Amino acid sequence: MDASIAEQQRILASDWGGGKSPFGTDWAKFMMWIFIISDALTFAGFLIAYGFMRSISPSWPIQTHVFSMPLITFMTFDLISSSAVMAMAVGAAREGNAKAAVKYLALTILGGAIFLGCQVYEWSHFIEHGARLNHNPWGVPQFAASFFVITGFHGFHVFTGLTILAIVAIRAAMGKYSATSVENAGLYWHFVDVVWVFVFAFFYLL
């Protein structure tokens, strides 16, 4: 009898025995990772489809001549900076320093809002130049379509991230937060940054 209990405990203590998370995370954080992975698959689909469309197209506009690269570079700098500040917010939350966590969260939100503002500016200029979903002055319909879909989808993620961060920041200011909630919000925000790194390289530079 003792041997069977000992065996049961040994199995439960193993990685895949059912007694603990095989991934070494709590449930909420693991679900955030699963969401991020599924979302990454969506963006992977978009970017591969973009690469394919571009590759079968007889020509493609030179992006550095179409887009304002100083603006895009600033947007990249802004998002990377907000991601770094978000990491500091997570560190502060883990240390139980709510005041610092709220301060860093507010700075992250500011960075995200600036990014979104720049994206609105970029979109409005692009539309002013005659870009639409199905046609544009540069002669390749897929060019504007892929721009609107990819950056639009990313922009929507930034907006969603800002909403989540605002809720977490308000809760942290009221003292109703946990380090895990800040960390999960941070994971999402870093993911938004990762996606932009891909968009910046493959859509704007390649």
Angle of helix 27-56 versus helix 141-173 axis, rounded to 10: 160
User: Binding pattern to another protein, positions 109-138, x when CB under 8 A?
Assistant: ----------------xx--x-------xx
Residues 37-66 that bind another protein (CB under 8 A): 37, 40-41, 43-45, 47-48, 51-52, 55-66
HSE-up of 67 (CA within 13 Å, CB side)? 24
Judged by CB under 8 A, which of 7, 12, 17, 23 binds another protein?
Answer: 23
Instruction: Report CA 122 to chain centroid distance, whole Å.
Output: 19
Q: Select 8 or 42, whichever has its Cβ closest to another protein.
A: 42
Closer CB to another protein, residue 7 or residue 26? 26
Nearer to another protein, 104 or 116 (CB): 104
3-class DSSP state of 121: helix
The 8-class DSSP code of residue 68 comes to: -
Taking the C-alpha atoms of residue 2 and residue 17, their distance in angstroms, rounded to an integer, is 19
Using the minimum distance from each CB to another protein, give the nearer residue, 129 or 176.
129
Q: Does 152 bind another protein (CB under 8 A)?
A: no
Length of the chain counted residue by residue: 206
Residue 139 to residue 58: CA distance in whole angstroms: 10
Residues 189 and 82: beta-carbon distance below 8 Å: yes
Contacts with another protein, residue ranges (CB under 8 A) = 15, 22-26, 29-30, 33, 36-37, 40-41, 43-45, 47-48, 51-52, 55-69, 73, 76-77, 80-81, 83-84, 86-88, 90-91, 94-95, 125-126, 129, 137-139, 183, 186-187, 190-191, 193-194, 197-198, 200-202, 204-206
